[in-house]
Amino acid sequence: MFNNYKNTFHMLRGKSILFCAGLVVASVSLQAQLLYNGGTQVAVTGGGVLYVEGAVENANGLFSNAGYTTVNGYFKNGGTATGGGAATGVYYVSGDWINNSTFTADQSNVVLDGSSQSITGSSASTFYNLTLNTPGSVKTQTIDANVNNIDSLNDCELATGDYKMNILNADPAAIVRGVGFVSSTGPGRLTRAANTTNTYLFPTGWNDNGNIVYRPIEMAPSDVNPQTFNVRLAYDNPTSENYDTATKAGNVTLVNGKYFHLIKQIGSTSPADLTIYYDPSADGQWSSIGRWQDLPQWTDLANTTTATGSPLSSRTKPNWKDDGNEPHALINAVIVTTLFTFPNVFDPGSNDPLNSTFHVIDFGTFVTVQAMRIYDRWGEIVYDSQRDGTMRSYYGANTYAWDGTYQGKKQLMGNYIYTASIKINETGEVKTVSGNLALVR
């Protein structure tokens, strides 16, 4: 019976086929086979074994796998495929996984065993467990996919392309890897649900003509609020994606031109510790993490810490917050000992817009001016931010500024006194500062 599998079970229509424990269906033919289900119920019960030396097409029926189904070819679902209910069925597939209809994973494990495979079809698959086998192989997505429990990358590349692999299990251990990694392009992302304060690994990387570049990041949330992080490693110069490395804040001296990460937080505004890993021997040394924001421009996130490792070192931004700007890159920044200052002279008639008003000079978006007053030599208030509210843009941030007028009249040349309430953005500390200034014309 088993040697005649090609003739007996080539097409299944109009009756139920049950594969039970202890029953092995096999083909000894060297020719490729096709198990085609045109409208019946195929059930592999718990402990049952089905081996197909070729492909499976569940065109318009039910394929229920609570046992062990090995497909030495592609698996195409056009009907309903399941993981056998409460059982832990296993699909071993060496060809493409093609889902065009309804796949209910239950508690099954889909094991992709081939050397080059796709997760494809017209309907997104939601796996329970997804296991990638065959070291060095590439599994390519042409559609979004989800994993409800464990995604085992092992030693493979999961190439999401322009699509998303969504890890819905918020357990930090939901991704298992040896040397495997996830690569993405364009809008493609690796997304992970989180609801603990533990560290979540995003094992992002790239295959650069056979040279594996593994540059992961980690996110450690500050609280247990449910949230999702989306991450992509863009292995390219940021300028190629319109994040010009030459457009940077004054305290940023260099932006990593080899790669950058796109990072987004969804569902929470709570901070998290962000860690970016790099290889100093290949990437060079970096003093901080920058983000494409403000003007926009590459801006130092500041106050990052470093950890040295082999082969990967890292930089961490404590209390990172998503501000809607995804691009992040390693940068070198000028060490700033003074966060801000005020000028001691300004000229309202200057052609330089930075010198034509009196305002704070912020060396890296470090501070926020909460209030500012200016007094003339007789103690009269000629500018009050709470009253006048004049603001201007300085390096992409709005701040209070005095244009040298009071009630619409130009003020005389001479000395004035200012006071200001300054909040340090990183710590929230509020300081009161004061000083002298000269108005010239």
What is the three-state SS of 264-285? EEECCCCCEEEEEEECHHHHCC
- Residue where the block lists tokens 């819905």: 168
Over residues 65-85, mean pLDDT: 96
Average pLDDT over residues 307-311: 92
Q: How confident is the model at residue 396 (pLDDT cuts 50, 70, 90)?
A: low
Report the phi/psi class of residue 113: left, alpha or beta, with left for phi > 0 and alpha for psi in -120 to 50.
alpha
pLDDT for res 6: 35
Q: What does the buried/exposed string (b/e) look like for 88-98 if buried means 16 or more CB atoms within 10 Å of the residue's CB?
A: ebbbbbbbbbb
Tell me which residue has tokens 């014309």: 441
Structure confidence at residue 418 as a pLDDT band (50, 70, 90)? very high
Confidence of residue 394 (pLDDT cuts 50, 70, 90): low
Helix (H) or strand (E) holding 5: helix 5-8
Distance CA 301, CA 217 (A): 16
Q: What is the pLDDT of residues 3-56, one digit of tens each?
A: 333 333 444 444 455 555 443 343 333 234 899 998 889 999 998 999 999 999
Q: Is the pLDDT of residue 314 over 80?
A: yes
Task: Give the closest residue to 174 by CA, choosing from 137, 228, 135.
Answer: 228
pTM score, two decimals? Answer: 0.74
Domains of the chain, start order: 340-439 (2.60.40)
Q: Is the per-residue pLDDT at 116 higher than 80? A: yes
Q: What is the rounded average pLDDT for all residues in the chain?
A: 89
CA distance 392 to 269: 28
Measure CA 432 to chain center. 39
Q: Give the burial class of 17: count Cβ atoms within 10 A of its Cβ; 0-12 exposed, 13-18 middle, 19 or more buried.
A: middle
Rounding to the nearest 10 degrees, give the CA dihedral for residues 334, 340, 345, 347: 80
| pLDDT tens digits, 353-369 | 778 999 998 866 678 89
Strand order in the sheet with 367-375: 345-346, 430-439, 414-424, 367-375, 381-384
Supply the pLDDT for residue 24: 38
Q: Which residues, in sequence order, are bridge partners of residue 131?
A: 111, 152
Position 397 pLDDT exceeds 80 = no
Strands 97-99 and 24-25: unpaired
Residue 377 corresponds to which tokens in the numbers above?
């030599």
> Cβ–Cβ contacts within 10 Å for residue 125, how many?
22
